[in-house]
Structure 1
Amino acid sequence: MAKPSLKAAFDAKKFVVAPGIYDGISAKVADGMGFDCLYVTGFGTVASHLGEPDAGIATYTDMVSRVSRFAQMSRTPVIADADTGYGGLLNVRYTVKGYEAGGVSGIQLEDQEVPKKCGHTPGRRVIPAEEMVLKIKVAVEARTDPNFLIVARTDARTSLGLEEAIRRGRMYGDAGADIVFIESPESEAEMVEIGRSITTKPLLANNVEGGRTPILSKQRLAEIGYGIAIYPAVGFLAAAAAYERAFSHLKQMGDSNGLPAQESYGFTRICELMGFPEVWEFDKRWAVLDK
């Protein structure tokens, strides 16, 4: 079931900051940090699982087990990327049911054509707004838990302009989406216009370091009308940089001696994060019988 605290946060007009998670370690670390929400990034999950670009390659089957595992292992509510719903209206219905059954607290659906592409890369095309409205209505009907939130994303800004993106955002909110996500506005002025134009539902800001949209402070985002900021790439960008530095040291030196302390999480600490002390305690208690 969805965790009710996320919907309660939005109902209380609390601004939500959500880091991107994409594997078990990132989920474990983020879950212990006290955030109100975690965001399962499609880009990062596809990259870590398949080693492929976020370009419509991952299927519902690829994703549902992973996002469900992230949700079930986390005390923090999880919003998970579900691309286009992986097909037509029936696919959307099954996707919503599968994500909800997996313990996800919110699902993100977008209006791109299949195959979809990452929202901060070129070449995205969108389906007619009316088709997306039907997808949202199906999603609303498919959920059984009122705490399960539906995030409706439009990628129309890049190909059809800001005015059309705002029109779609309004339509998607009217169709029943709980959160409206206008992807990749290209200036603060555009974000201000979005906040001025869509006031009935919380707005989501997608903050990608090096992406198409300026990264504003949470205070500024709240001031101009946004309710949630996701940072899908911050974790895997940092992890990739750390991998590169550590592996470079290993390649150059031939061993890990002298690796700066900040480049290593520490074996003892990672064992604690992953729950090994509980395993060791179990082994001690049952050691006599397990022979």
Structure 2
Amino acid sequence: MPSPADTLRTLLAQDKLHVMPCCYDALSAKLIEQADFDLTFMSGFAASASRIGQPDLGLMSYSEVLDQARNIADAVSIPIIADGDEGYGNAMNVRRTVAGFAKAGAAAVMIEDQLAPKRCGHTPGKAVVSRQEACDRIRAAVDARADGADILILARTDARHEHELGEAIERARMFKELGADILFVEAPKTVAEMETICRELPGPKMANIVEGGVTPDLSHKDLQEIGYAIAAYPLTLMASAMRAMVGTLERLKLDQDRTPDLMSFADLRDRIGFNKYYEVSERYDTSRRDK
């Protein structure tokens, strides 16, 4: 069986856009796989909200994020990309972060150039470290891969917010030269900026589509024609789930009919894995088999 990293490498070698809904826990990842998507990303924003009920402002620790990624990787067979934030410290911390996510089963890990504590890419107050420190992070990540971590490096820059597009592109170009596998220039504001990113940077690029965010929400066809290899949708599932839950809670409070918005109990059990469990467990039920 190919490793998760090898599976992702094979996907990226295809001349197509990979649509990537982002997960936040094992169940959301299973639903993504059941819907026949090729890969998923553990959104730091959504994972922080789901696991600790707090905003994505650097409040989750490395061990908490790693544990969340491990649970997700254990639940699905499609490759997952983990959010490694700024690496949780200096370059040596970055090396540990990359190695840890590889052992947890992630196919790739994202390392970014924000100041700690990091912020969501589409919220105010972002700032980035110097070019040198940003490159040191990616160099450390690549070194961890070279030392045996079977994982791809997704290098992210948020420099567009503070230093305009030219600086972001230059940083991403340097990340690629250092050995990053996938490039991610966060939060371009126009289609023209997205076209410039894909035209000027080599290798696979990722677009991050936040509904209501600053990046244009283009069709899959347009994103592929521009030149993106991956289109990430970090909050689509969480926003959908939260809206449904809030509405259902309100109807429950008012004693109104809530069944139209509920998945059937049979489908719920099947998607979680009850039926598969029963099917496999029957192999070991000797008392029933002998009758």
Structure 2 distance, partners of 1:208, 1:108, is 17
How many angstroms does 1:129 deviate by?
Answer: 1.3
Which residue in 2 is equivalent to 1:150? 153
Structure 2 distance, partners of 1:245, 1:140, is 45
> In the TM superposition, what are the counterparts of 1:1-291 in structure 2 within 5 Å?
1-143=3-145, 148-198=151-201, 200-253=202-255, 258-261=257-260, 263-281=261-279, 282=281, 285-286=284-285
With over 3 angstroms needed to count, the CA separation of the structure-2 counterparts of 1:176 and 1:61, relative to structure 1, is same
> Structure 1: which 5+ residue stretches go unaligned?
none
How many angstroms does 1:146 deviate by?
Answer: 7.9
Q: Aligned pair count?
A: 284
The CA RMSD measured in Å over matched residues stands at: 1.8
Deviations 1:194-213 (A, max 9, x none): 12221x22111000001111
Structure 1 distance, partners of 2:136, 2:283, is 56
Deviations 1:175-223 (A, max 9, x none): 111111000011111111112221x221110000011111112221121
Structure 2 distance, partners of 1:22, 1:230, is 13
Deviations 1:13-68 (A, max 9, x none): 33211101001221111111111111110000000000000001111111001111
Kept in 2, the 8 Å contact 1:112–1:127? The answer is yes
Superposition TM-score, scaled by structure 1 size: 0.92
Kept in 2, the 8 Å contact 1:7–1:147? The answer is no
Q: Give the percent of matched residue pairs that are identical in Structure 1 and Structure 2.
A: 38
Structure 1 distance, partners of 2:150, 2:119, is 29
Letter paired with 2:258: L
Structure 1 distance, partners of 2:70, 2:48, is 15
Letter paired with 1:252: L
Superposition TM-score, scaled by structure 2 size: 0.92
Structure 2 distance, partners of 1:288, 1:50, is 44
Kept in 2, the 8 Å contact 1:3–1:77? The answer is yes
3-state DSSP class of the match of 2:126?
coil
3-state DSSP class of the match of 1:108?
strand
Letter paired with 2:131: A
Structure 2 distance, partners of 1:54, 1:160, is 22
Deviations 1:102-121 (A, max 9, x none): 11001011000011001000
Letter paired with 2:109: I
With over 3 angstroms needed to count, the CA separation of the structure-2 counterparts of 1:18 and 1:287, relative to structure 1, is same
Deviations 1:224-282 (A, max 9, x none): 221111001000000000001110100111x6xx2242x11122211111222244453
> Structure 2: which 5+ residue stretches go unaligned?
none
